[in-house]
Amino acid sequence: MPSEEGDTREVVTSLAKRRGFLWPSFELYGGMRGFYDYGPMGAALKRNIERFWLRLWVGEEGMIELDSALVNPREVFEASGHLEEFEDFVVSCADCDSSFRADHLLEGLHPNPDALSKEELAEELVVKGVTCPECGGGISEPASFNLMFATRAGPGEGREAYLRPETAQGIFVNFSHLYRLGRERLPFGVAQLGRGFRNEISPRQGIIRLREFNMAEVEAFFHPAKRQWSGDMRTYADTQLTLVPDGSDEVQVTLGEALEKGIMCNEALAYFVGVTQRFLVGVGVDPERLRFRQHLQTEMAHYASDCWDAEALLSYGWTELVGIADRGDFDLRRHHERSGQDLRVFVRYPEPQEMEVERLAPVHKELGPRFRGDAKAVAEALMEADASAVGDDGTATVTIPDGDGTRSVEVPAECFTLERKVEKVTGERVLPHVVEPSFGIDRITWTVLEHAYTQRTGEDGEAMTVLQLPPIVAPVNVGVFPLVTKDGLDIIAEQVDGRLRGAGLRTHYDGSGSIGRRYARADEAGIPFCITVDHQSREDDSVTIRWRDTQDQVRLPISHLVDSVKELSGLD
C-alpha cells in the first residue's frame, strides 16, 4: 500500500481516537477484533448522518419506518437463505491453530479470490502452495463457516436464534403489517436503521469490516411489471454521476443520460442512485472520490438480479459504502412459501377484465368424511382459490381459519374438480418485487472523517489539521470563546453559550489559551463556526463569528446568533 494512504489512515485513526470520535472496543481487556465504540463526537456525528438519511428517505420519499428485533429465530434465516448461503470459507493451521479466510490467503496470487467456490479455493491453495502465514505450517482444506452469530433464547436448550445479518429481514417478516400501514398500495417503501452482525473469520481494516455494525436499509416494494418509484425522476435527472457499468470503463454522465443511453435500465434503481448521491455528498463524501459501480454477475449476492454499489476512494482503496440491489421477489417468495401465509397483495386492474379462469369446485361428499368439522371451511377456501393452489402432485393447498390465526390444509385431488369459466376479474394477487438501497453507516462515518481531513499551514509555518465536516453533520455546531477571561467577557460568553444551547445547538465553550490555539483546537474537532466575545461586545452587544473553512470573520448582533447559526448550519 502506498505510504501516503497509510499515513492518512494512521493520522485520521489517531485523530478519531484523540478527539472522541471512535476507537476499538474493549482495549481494557486486550481488544476484540471487529468491534468499535463511538465516543461523544462520533455518537453525535453518526446520529446526524442518520438524521439526514431519515430526512431524505422518510421525510422526502415518504418511506415508513420500522425498528425490529436484532435476535431472530432460526425460521427467519431458513427462509431468507442466510443459514445456507451466508458463509465464508475458513482454513486452519494444524500446527499453530490459527484460522484464516481462505480467499485472503490467495490475495496477490489470484485476480479475484473472493469469487471462488469452495472447491476452486481448495485447488488454488494447493496449486499455489499456500502455507500458514503465522508459522509456515500446513493448512487444512477450506471449510464452510456460517457468518451469523448464533445464540439460544429461553432456558435449557432454548430456541435456536441468530443475530440478524441485515435489517432487511425484519421488514420482510413484517410485510403484511407494513403493507396495511402503508395504505395498501404499490409502490411503497420501508426504512430501517439499526445494528447488524457478521461473525467475520478474521476482521481487518479497522472500522471498514466490523463484526457488529450500523446499517440503514430501505426496502421499496413494486408491482413486478412496474419498477418505478413515486418520486419525480426529474429531481435527479441532472445529477452528475461517475458510473462504472458492468466491468466497463468509468463514465461521467448525468442520471438522465445514464437512463437514456441504457447504462442503467432499472428506473427505480436509478432514482435511488440519485437520492444516494445526494445523501452521500450532503453528509460530506467528496464527489470527486465517489462512484457507482455495477456488480458483475459473479459477485452478486444470492438474492440479487442487478446491483450498483456506491464506492468511495479511501486510504483502503475503493470501498463499498452502499449497495443498491434489485432483489426481485426472492425474499417475499421464500417467506410466502415457508410461512404458509399468503404475502401476495391484491392489485386492481384499471378496469375489470373478462378472463377465462380455472376454479376449484369442491366435491362435498369427499370433503365431509375427510375434514369433518372443517369441511365447510375447506369448501369455502377451495371456492376462493384458483388453479395456482394445485401442486404438481394434484393436491391443493388452502388456508382455513384456526382460532385467532389460520392453518394450511392439504386437499387431495378427489375432493375437488377443476372448472374453466369466464369471469369478470377486477385484479390480481402478486408478490411485490423489491429494490433495496442498503447503507453501511460505519463506513460512511469513516469516509466522512477521511474526506473531511485536511491540513493548512499556520501563521508560523506549522501544519494545522482542519476537519471540514459539513455543518449539518458536525457534532458540535459552534464554538464560544471569550477573548479574555476578564472584564466580564467570560460572563457574556457564558450567556451566549447558554442561549445557543437552550435553542438545541451543541456548543463548545473554551476560555483557555490564546485565541489562535482555541481556533486550532476547534478546527481539528470539525466545529464549523466559532463565536468570539471581545471588548466591543460590551459596547454594542455584537460578537465575531468565524468560518472554519475560509477563516473569514464577520460581526453579528448577539440577538441574531441563534437564527444565524441554524441557518448557516442548514438546520431546521
Tell whether residue 564 is a contact of a copy of itself (CB under 8 A): no
Nearer to a copy of itself, 370 or 506 (CB): 506
Tell whether residue 304 is a contact of a copy of itself (CB under 8 A): no
Interatomic CA distance for residues 380 and 403, integer angstroms: 17
* Binder of a copy of itself out of 7, 26, 96, 410 (CB under 8 A): 26
Maximum alpha-carbon separation in the chain: 101
Site string for a copy of itself, 474-503 (x = CB under 8 A): ---------------------------x-x
Interatomic CA distance for residues 40 and 12, integer angstroms: 16
Nearer to a copy of itself, 227 or 508 (CB): 508
Nearer to a copy of itself, 111 or 155 (CB): 155
With contact defined as beta carbons under 8 Å apart, do 552 and 496 qualify? no
With contact defined as beta carbons under 8 Å apart, do 406 and 398 qualify? no
Interatomic CA distance for residues 109 and 10, integer angstroms: 27
* Binder of a copy of itself out of 28, 225, 422, 463 (CB under 8 A): 28
Query: Counting Cβ atoms within 10 Å, is residue 474 exposed (0-12), middle (13-18) or buried (19+)?
Result: buried
Query: Counting Cβ atoms within 10 Å, is residue 405 exposed (0-12), middle (13-18) or buried (19+)?
Result: exposed
**Sheet of 478-482, strand order:** 507-509, 478-482, 529-533, 542-547, 553-557
Candidates 62, 104, 333, 67; CA nearest to 202 is: 104
Tell whether residue 220 is a contact of a copy of itself (CB under 8 A): no
Nearer to a copy of itself, 129 or 156 (CB): 156
Give me the least distance between CB of 260 and a copy of itself, in Å please. Answer: 29
Task: Count residues binding a copy of itself (CB under 8 A).
Answer: 74
Give me the least distance between CB of 253 and a copy of itself, in Å please. Answer: 29
Window 136 to 155, contacts with a copy of itself (CB under 8 A): 145, 149-155
Candidates 535, 545, 541; CA nearest to 478 is: 545
Window 185 to 214, contacts with a copy of itself (CB under 8 A): 195, 197, 199-202, 211-212
CA angle 213, 471, 462 (to 5 degrees): 95
Window 320 to 339, contacts with a copy of itself (CB under 8 A): 335, 339
Candidates 165, 197, 202; CA nearest to 81 is: 165
* Binder of a copy of itself out of 13, 48, 72, 167 (CB under 8 A): 72
Give me the least distance between CB of 67 and a copy of itself, in Å please. Answer: 4
Candidates 433, 441, 456, 447; CA nearest to 519 is: 456
Nearer to a copy of itself, 407 or 456 (CB): 407
484, 490, 496, 501: CA torsion to nearest 10: 110
Window 152 to 181, contacts with a copy of itself (CB under 8 A): 152-156, 158-159, 161, 163, 170, 173-174, 176-178, 181
Q: What is the β-pairing status of strands 306-314 and 290-294? A: antiparallel
Interatomic CA distance for residues 504 and 190, integer angstroms: 29
Window 77 to 136, contacts with a copy of itself (CB under 8 A): 90, 92, 99
Nearer to a copy of itself, 193 or 382 (CB): 193
Window 35 to 64, contacts with a copy of itself (CB under 8 A): 35-40, 42-44, 46, 55, 59-60, 64
Tell whether residue 511 is a contact of a copy of itself (CB under 8 A): no
Residue span binding a copy of itself (CB under 8 A) among the ranges 73-81, 221-229, 369-377, 382-390: 73-81
